Amino acid sequence: MARYSWVQRAIFLPPVLLGVVMLALAPTMKAEPPQSNTTTAKKSVRVLKVIPRNIQPSAVGYGLTESSQEWEAQSELDGAVVWVSERFETGEIINKGNEILHIDPSSYLLTVARLEAEIEVSKLTDKTILESLKIAEKDFQVQKSEYDRSVKLSKTGHISNAEKDKATRELLGSQQQLQTLKNSLAINRAQKKVLETELALAKRDLVNTVVKAPFDIRITDKQVGLAEYVNRGELMLKADGIEAVEVSAQFPLGKMRPLRRASNLDPLSHDVHKDLQATLELKAGDKVISWDGKVSRSGGQIDTQTQSQSIVVEVDAPYQQAVPGKKPPLIRNTFIKVTLKAPVMKNQIVLPVTAIHNDLVYIVKDGKLTRQSVDIDFVQGQVAVIKSGVAVDDLVVLSKLVPAVEGMALKPIPDANMEKWLEKEVGFKENKISKSEGKS
């Protein structure tokens, strides 16, 4: 059995004594529990006070320019090109009525001369037949009188039947000659009409040897040159009219609905697009060049791949609007941004789309959160136009609430920056109307 000395036993005494002291002091060292605060802190949130605003529905599309008038000059004759204008080059502008090229007119001049000579001969023949016809008519009258006299004498027996038959034959011969001359005159006049028609065609061909610009054009493709032979129907050049250009811009179907929403026109009317404003923009480096346009018509069909609708916008006098070094003319195949705007919709409830959460908005009423369903009319950019569910003077929460608990205490703080942003986004200042007026 192990034996411990008094020194070893003394080592265990201090820990034991310390434990006894701690047990004695423990009740006096116990901390009191924290006092609970029965008042819940309100969460500060940014809010937007709902005020009616005007908004102009718009849609943005893109397309390539093309001329509203195109001309493909095909030769109506056979022949060699004997002259071309010095401006007959790709890209050159030629005014209406100016000559572009000549086709060798020699054979057509010869045809015209021959036909004119034949017509003169026909006229002389006509005169000759008419003179002969006058003589034949007089001879017929003489023979007719002789025949009548022989008939009377034959009845009284003063002449024989043979003499009467002779007078009859002479009358018939005179009549036949008269009829032959009349037929010859009719045939000659018919032939003259044929010759005159052929002459008119030959003169038309002669005119067509000179190719002129039918309207103010810009040559886009030169197909023939000097001394080249062209066949009837052969393409000689392509050109665009410069009086107006068109852009067939593509617009997503969903983006077009707000524009039609603001209009009350009959879709079958020819003026269905007359209330739309059109602006065309070209980005050239760091500059944006714009033109005012007018909506001409719709493209007539929906693109099967993109489900977009084409709207044709026209710009008048694009070359007259050009300013060297500042504003170029609109020419074919320029990629253009087209913005369409409908009439202004007044007194609309407009909210940023970030304030809408799955067709719900959070509103502060009496310092508490209320969740309300909304019916969205349409969305334009980052702005939503509300049809119903939000009233004038409502305080719509802009801050993110996670979680958004119905009835939670909120402290609304107006967001002036959002009001300025919304004003800039819709392009109109707020309308000062009372809550009772609502939307128009």
Residue 105 has which token pair?
Answer: 């007119």
Residue 363 CA, distance from chain mean position: 44
Segment 168-200, tens digit of pLDDT: 888 888 889 889 989 999 999 999 999 999 999
CA distance 407 to 410: 9
Residue 439 located in a structural domain? no
pLDDT for position 427: 82
Enclosing domain of residue 174: 106-208
**pLDDT level of residue 22 (50, 70, 90 thresholds):** low
Beta strands per DSSP E along 208-359: 210-212, 217-222, 229-230, 235-241, 244-252, 277-284, 287-302, 308-316, 335-341, 345-352
- Judgement on whether residues 352 and 333 belong to the same structural domain of the protein: no
Q: Count structural domains, the chain.
A: 3
Residue 72 located in a structural domain? no
Segment 27-60, tens digit of pLDDT: 555 544 444 444 457 889 999 999 999 999 999 9
pTM > 0.85 = no
Q: Is the pLDDT confidence value at 12 over 90? A: no
Q: For residue 377, give the CATH number of its domain.
A: 2.40.420.20
Q: What percent of the chain has pLDDT over 90?
A: 57
Segment 69-117, tens digit of pLDDT: 999 999 999 999 999 999 999 999 999 999 999 999 999 999 999 999 9
pLDDT for position 37: 46
pLDDT for position 35: 47
Q: Is the pLDDT confidence value at 390 over 90? A: yes
**pLDDT level of residue 269 (50, 70, 90 thresholds):** low
pLDDT for position 428: 78
Residue 396 located in a structural domain? yes
- Judgement on whether residues 336 and 355 belong to the same structural domain of the protein: no
Q: For residue 188, give the CATH number of its domain.
A: 1.10.287.1700
CA distance 261 to 58: 11
Q: Domain ends where: 341, 374, 399?
A: 341
- Judgement on whether residues 309 and 360 belong to the same structural domain of the protein: no
- Judgement on whether residues 188 and 252 belong to the same structural domain of the protein: no
Q: For residue 275, give the CATH number of its domain.
A: 2.40.30
Residue 262 located in a structural domain? yes
pLDDT for position 139: 87
Residue 37 located in a structural domain? no
What region does 19 belong to: left with phi over 0, alpha with psi -120 to 50, or beta? alpha
Residue 416 located in a structural domain? yes
- Judgement on whether residues 323 and 251 belong to the same structural domain of the protein: yes
- Judgement on whether residues 114 and 203 belong to the same structural domain of the protein: yes
